[in-house]
Amino acid sequence: MTDNIQKPKANSLWGGRFEGGVSDIMEKINASIDFDKILYRQDIRGSIEHCKMLVNTAIISAEDGEAIQKGLAQIEKEIEAGEFEFSAALEDIHMNVEARLTEIIGPAAGRLHTARSRNDQVATDFKLYVRDACDQADEALKALQIALIEKAEENADAIIPGFTHLQSAQPVTFGHHMLAYFEMFTRDRARFQDARRRLNECPLGAAALAGTSFPIDRHQTAEALGFDRPTANSMDTVSDRDFALEFMAAASISAVHISRLAEEMVTWSCAQFGFIEMSDSFTTGSSIMPQKRNPDAAELCRGKSGRIIGSLNSLLVTMKGLALTFSKDMQEDKEATFDAVETYSLIIAAMTGMVEDMKVNADNMRRATEVGFITATDLADWVVRVLGLPFREAHHITGSLVAMAEKKGCDLDGLTLTEMQDVEPKISEDVFSVLSVDKSVASRVSFGGTAPSEVLKQVAAAKERI
């Protein structure tokens, strides 16, 4: 088992009480550097502010403080230039940076970790990362909302069948349908903003779990790193991963919205529907069937939403059995969160591009409203309004008329007045005024309704709201 040979050297950063080194397998299971190195900017920023605070409170000398800050700035440049050698033996980003700092400035580097632990350090780095992710999600959602508003405005009076159970229900406008998604993404933005507000308390200074006996100034570091205040309980601080869970919960819900829109685009773009055409930029062809234009990007938005939900589940399951405070299980928080952040940013960008590029075919949309007796509810409402019958009775009469039209092979306005009067003698010529889809949608002027006039009002309101 060459893999499991004990390494001779103990870790230089924590190896004081250890005689030997860890096995290769231990190194492999323990190291997080392969993925947490993307936190280098947050780590260095946190360290610089921690160092400034240590100088301000006279816990370390100004001279050491200066050397540490210079060294950290150099390390940031080295990493950015791709010149930094990351080492799995040094476990994670925190120890990689500290070890390099020791190489650059010597023993003074060892003073940086005064009144700090990797536990509050990693919580700080990770919060800074998730905070940025919340801000990026908000920006990306806003761009998608702008694209939706534009499509809604252009298609405020394009009529499509509105479905329930994927059965023709009532005619609606495509603009109204676009604004339905605008509302979903508005709620998503509020969820990210809310998560951001709650996470914005600084973990630095909680130390390992109990706080510290050094006279630190947690308010200084909190403020310098853009937090609203320091966290209130040191034990909660190093145990807490709610902020990552909340981000992923918000991202999961939003990904579900993206996935539902993607599913509709797949349907709308098929030849049988032909409601929209997707651009070359977001579709692929088939290697064997020359006629095809496959909506791959939409399908992948739908598919990748599952990964985000999976990442949320993965961290929930990781956390559920952990006693306070930090356990190494929590290192599993990062890959899941990083993947969720990257996947979410990719699918939202793809969806925005698809919405911007999509071409709407209003003629095909209208044609699809000509089947399925889609104005049956308008007919029933007319019977109530004009003939004064109770709705249940009107429903029954309309049902008989639908059956009659079905038998005759025509739509409701294909029935003659005499045929209609066979079912209900009081029906008059006026009934035909409500059987067209245009009249149907134009009549739905209730607040939030589908009438083109309402949609344009909602478009104006949406522009104000974002």
Q: Where are the beta strands (DSSP E) in 53-183?
A: 159-164, 167-173
Distance in Å, CB of 242 to ligand ARG, minimum: 15
Binding window for ligand ARG (CB under 6 A); candidates: 136-144, 216-224, 239-247, 324-332: 324-332
Using CB under 6 A, which of 118, 151, 177, 444 touches ligand ARG?
Answer: 118
268 contact partners, CB below 8 Å, separation of at least 6:
275, 276
Token pair listed for 284: 């692929």
Minimum CB distance to ligand ARG smaller for 281 or for 327: 327
Residue 31 or 437: the one with the smaller Cβ distance to ligand ARG is 31
Q: What angle do CA 87, 93, 97 make, to 5 degrees?
A: 80
Instruction: Tell me which stretch binds ligand ARG (CB under 6 A): 251-259, 265-273, 327-335, 346-354.
Output: 327-335
> Which residue among 239, 305, 311, 331 contacts ligand ARG (CB under 6 A)?
331
Nearer to ligand ARG, 89 or 255 (CB): 89
Stretch that binds ligand ARG, among 114-122, 146-154, 290-298, 389-397 (CB under 6 A): 114-122
Q: Which helix (H) or strand (E) holds 442?
A: helix 437-443
Whole-number Å distance between alpha carbons of 441 and 454: 10
- The C-alpha atoms of residue 454 and residue 357 are separated, in whole angstroms, by 25
Q: Which is nearer to ligand ARG, 28 or 367 (CB)?
A: 28
Residues 35-54: x where in contact with ligand ARG by CB under 6 A, - otherwise, as a string: -x------------------
Judged on CB neighbours under 10 Å (0-12, 13-18, 19+), 433 is exposed
Cβ 95 to ligand ARG shortest distance, Å: 8
> Is residue 119 a contact residue for ligand ARG (CB under 6 A)?
yes
Classify each residue of 134-149 as buried b or exposed e, where b means 16 or more C-beta atoms within 10 Å of its C-beta: beebbebbebbbbbbb
165 has catalytic annotation: yes
**Enclosing H/E stretch for 360:** strand 359-360
One-letter amino acid at 213 equals S
Taking the complex as a whole, the smallest distance from the CB of residue 104 to ligand ARG amounts, in Å, to 22
CB-wise, 122 or 133, nearer to ligand ARG? 122
Contact call for residues 156 and 175 (beta carbons, < 8 A): yes
Binding of ligand ARG at residue 237 (CB under 6 A)?
no
Q: Smallest distance from the beta carbon of 332 to ligand ARG, in angstroms?
A: 9
Q: How far is the CB of 125 from ligand ARG (least distance, A)?
A: 9
Interaction pattern, residues 11-40, with ligand ARG; x per rule: CB under 6 A: ---------------------x---x----
Name 330's Cβ contacts closer than 8 Å, sequence gap at least 6: 241, 318, 319, 322
Which one of the listed residues 165, 213, 287, 446 is annotated catalytic? 165
Considering beta carbons, is residue 36 or 188 the nearer one to ligand ARG?
Answer: 36
What DSSP string describes 205-251? T-TTTT--SS---HHHHHHHTT-SEE-S-HHHHHH--HHHHHHHHHH
Other CB atoms within a 10 A radius of the CB of residue 266 amount to 18
**Contacts (Cβ under 8 Å, ≥6 apart) of 57:** 214, 215, 216, 217
Given the residues 12, 61, 281, 286, the one annotated as active site: 286
Residue number with CB closer to ligand ARG (120 or 153): 120
Vertex 44: Cα angle to 43 and 48 (nearest 5): 120
Is the Cα torsion angle 400, 402, 408, 412 positive or negative in sign?
A: positive
Ramachandran sector of residue 165 (left: φ over 0; alpha: ψ -120 to 50; beta: rest): left
Residue numbers 347-376 binding ligand ARG by CB under 6 A: none
Instruction: Count the residues of the shown chain that bind ligand ARG, applying the rule CB under 6 A.
Output: 10
The verdict on 338 binding ligand ARG (CB under 6 A) reads no
Other beta carbons within 10 Å of 320: 7
Instruction: Between 32 and 231, name the residue whose CB sits nearer to ligand ARG.
Output: 32
Q: How far is the CB of 208 from ligand ARG (least distance, A)?
A: 7
Residues in contact with ligand ARG, shown as a per-residue x/- string from 87 to 106 under the rule CB under 6 A = -----x--------------
Q: How far is the CB of 34 from ligand ARG (least distance, A)?
A: 11
Q: Rule CB under 6 A: which of 142-201 touch ligand ARG?
A: none
Site stretch for ligand ARG (CB under 6 A), options 117-125, 253-261, 264-272, 399-407: 117-125
Asked if the peptide bond before residue 325 counts as cis, ω within 30 degrees of 0, the response is yes
Token look-up 């409701």 returns: 412
Number of Cβ within 10 Å of residue 379's Cβ equals 24
Task: Please say which residue, 119 or 173, places its beta carbon nearer to ligand ARG.
Answer: 119
Among 122, 276, 297, 347, binds ligand ARG (CB under 6 A): 122
Task: Candidates 129, 185, 243, 326: give the one binding ligand ARG (CB under 6 A).
Answer: 326
Respond yes or no on whether the N-terminal peptide bond of residue 267 is cis (omega within 30° of 0): no
Give the binding site for ligand ARG (CB under 6 A): 32, 36, 92, 118-119, 122, 326, 328, 330-331
Active site residues: 165, 286
